[in-house]
């Protein structure tokens, strides 16, 4: 990795400000899924074990630059304390006198969580004054919030103008894992792409086509590919203005000898609802008044066969409307197949795809499931993420 990491950084006695992503799902003021908190533990523990004063900062929700009572981080400080097995101090401000005195009172090994950085408009505007105020709390900056690395905000980018900046362990693992399939993959390398829309995935497809050996396509975007091949799509989600891009993908796969695998059969439904009447039809013969909701059983079988010969797989995008149990089979079968490919590198990116894998209880069976939804997509697009670019080079 090209960026400096926490591994080789002296933190003893230092005040270390860590940008974490504690934007956890909450219901009724309680944390409903603490995976993001757990993901930050290696960095926090390392800092505590090495005598650092740990200052954590995060965003939560979308308070848009004003104090929103429901977006305070108090409950998260409490949740983190439970997971850490030690109390976490909570400061009801992230800059200014309250934050300053909380930091001044910190002993080595203690953990402080600052208030939601997005209570200040300067955060998302990457305002130098706000970045400087945050930086003034610490001697060293660690970015462990991969999920926010695609945003140039004060706590992800601006702050690095005032402090030495290194990546935390979660950030490091994300970069190593996601780069491993893009830069130097074990081959054959397949990309399984799905999700709702082609337009969301154009840049990803553009970047991946030159790197992969197989492209397997499912999800709602199949309709646009079917249209590109001149067949009817019924009421399926069709992006008329993307048909020519789909055609281009088909042509490029031929020229660049990327094996393109499209569904032979699809599950179609009468309408977009969980218990809509449905049937399996040939993908080239979608009847009027029906829409694609999932890949069909023959498609799943051929996708599985294609995947099982691969040494690396990158998966982004559910195969169907997995939120409805009746249309979740394709996504489940692909998830289970990747989970069983213990000799292959299996990387999952994208918010919904990660959610689907979590629902299936398969997170631990994959080589890596990215914690960064939008950030992982931008990484697959080959973009330089501002939060990573801002860290010190090795
Ligand atoms: P990710 O967040 O992993 O990148 P996307 O946001 O691209 O994934 O797509 C996820 C969404 O795609 C899911 O909400 C799923 O219901 C939807 N989807 C998958 N297949 C279809 C389909 N055939 N028709 C409509 N929506 C679909
Ligand atoms: Mg998404």
Which residues face 239 on adjacent strands?
none
249 upstream amide cis, omega within 30 of 0: no
Q: Measured in Å, how far apart are the chain's first and last C-alpha atoms?
A: 8
Tokens of 10: 């002296």
Residue nearest atom 5 of ligand 1, based on CA coordinates: 195
Contact between residue 63 and residue 121 where contact means Cβ atoms under 8 Å apart = no
| 44: helix, strand or coil | helix
Q: Which two tokens stand for residue 347?
A: 């990387």
**Closest of 387, 393, 388, 331 to residue 362, by C-alpha:** 331
Which of 292, 315, 318 most suits a substitution to test ligand 1, by most atoms within 8 Å of the C-beta? Answer: 318
What is the C-alpha radius of gyration for the chain, rounded to an integer number of angstroms?
23
Distance of CA 383 from the midpoint of ligand 1 (Å): 22
Scanning the structure block, which residue is given the tokens 């930050």? 40
The two tokens of residue 14 are: 């230092």
Give kind and range of the element (H or E) at residue 283.
none
Which residues have a Cβ under 8 Å from the Cβ of 255 and sit 6 or more positions away? none
Render each residue's pLDDT in the chain as its tens digit; 394 residues. 589 999 989 999 999 999 999 999 888 888 988 888 999 999 999 999 999 999 999 999 999 999 999 999 999 999 999 999 999 999 999 999 999 999 999 999 999 999 999 999 999 999 999 999 999 999 999 999 999 999 999 999 999 999 999 999 999 999 999 999 999 999 999 999 999 999 999 999 999 999 999 999 999 999 999 999 999 999 999 999 999 999 999 999 999 999 999 999 999 999 999 999 999 999 999 999 999 999 999 999 999 999 999 999 999 999 999 999 999 999 999 999 999 999 999 999 999 999 999 999 999 999 999 988 899 999 999 999 999 999 999 9
CA of 140 to the centre of ligand 1 (A): 40
Ligand 1 within 6 A of 218 CB?
no
Ligand 1 within 6 A of 78 CB?
Answer: no
The ligand 1 atom nearest the CA atom of 320: 20
- Helix or strand (DSSP H, E) at 32: none
CB within 8 Å of 185: residues ≥ 6 apart:
211, 311, 312, 345
Interatomic CA distance for residues 81 and 70, integer angstroms: 20
Beta bridge partners of 96: none
Distance 303 CA to ligand 2 centre (A): 22
Who contacts 209 (Cβ-Cβ below 8 Å, separation ≥6)?
215, 249, 252, 253, 256, 258
pLDDT of residue 1: 53
Number of H helices, E strands in the chain: 15, 17
Closest residue by Cα to atom 9, ligand 1, is 195
Beta bridge partners of 291: 269
- CA of 318, closest atom in ligand 1: 19
Closest atom, ligand 1, to C-alpha of 294: 23
Query: What is the C-alpha separation between 329 and 304, in angstroms, rounded?
Result: 13
Q: Kindly state if the Cβ of 237 falls inside 6 Å of ligand 1.
A: yes
Does the C-beta of 202 come closer than 6 Å to ligand 1? no
Ligand 2 centroid distance, CA of 218 (Å): 15
């Amino acid at each position: 990795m090209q960026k400096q990491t926490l591994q080789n950084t002296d933190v003893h006695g230092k005040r270390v400000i860590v940008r974490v992503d504690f934007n956890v799902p909450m219901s009724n003021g309680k944390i409903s899924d603490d995976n993001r908190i757990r993901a930050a533990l290696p960095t926090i523990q390392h800092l505590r074990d090495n005598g650092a004063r740990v200052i954590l900062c995060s965003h939560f929700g979308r308070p848009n630059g004003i104090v929103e009572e429901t977006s305070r981080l108090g409950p998260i400080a409490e949740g983190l304390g439970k997971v850490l097995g030690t109390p976490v101090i909570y400061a009801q401000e992230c800059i200014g006198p309250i934050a300053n005195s909380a930091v001044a009172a910190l002993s080595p090994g203690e953990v402080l969580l600052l208030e939601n950085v997005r209570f200040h408009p300067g955060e998302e505007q990457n305002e130098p004054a706000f970045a400087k105020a945050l930086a003034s709390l610490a001697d060293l900056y660690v970015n462990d919030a991969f999920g926010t690395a695609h945003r140039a905000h004060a706590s992800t980018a601006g702050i690095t103008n005032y402090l030495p900046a290194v990546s935390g362990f979660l950030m490091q693992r994300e970069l190593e894992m996601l780069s491993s399939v893009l830069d130097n993959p074990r081959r054959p390398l397949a990309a399984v792409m799905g999700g709702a829309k082609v337009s969301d995935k154009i840049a990803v497809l553009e970047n991946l086509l030159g790197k992969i050996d197989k492209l397997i396509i499912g999800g709602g975007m199949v309709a646009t590919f079917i249209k590109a091949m001149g067949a009817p799509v019924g009421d399926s989600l069709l992006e008329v203005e993307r048909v020519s891009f789909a055609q281009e993908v088909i042509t490029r796969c031929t020229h660049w000898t990327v094996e393109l695998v499209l569904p032979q059969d699809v599950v179609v439904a009468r309408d977009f609802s969980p218990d809509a009447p449905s049937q399996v039809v040939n993908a080239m013969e979608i009847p009027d008044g029906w829409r694609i909701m999932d890949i069909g059983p023959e498609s799943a079988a051929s996708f599985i066969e294609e995947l099982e010969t691969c040494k690396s797989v990158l998966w982004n995008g559910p195969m169907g409307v997995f939120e409805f149990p009746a249309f979740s089979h394709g996504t489940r079968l692909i998830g289970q197949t990747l989970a069983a490919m213990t000799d292959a590198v299996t990387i999952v990116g994208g918010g919904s795809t990660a959610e689907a894998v979590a629902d299936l209880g398969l997170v631990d069976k994959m080589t890596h499931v990215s914690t960064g939804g939008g950030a992982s997509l931008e990484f697959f697009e080959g973009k330089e993420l501002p939060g990573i670019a801002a860290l010190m080079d090795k």
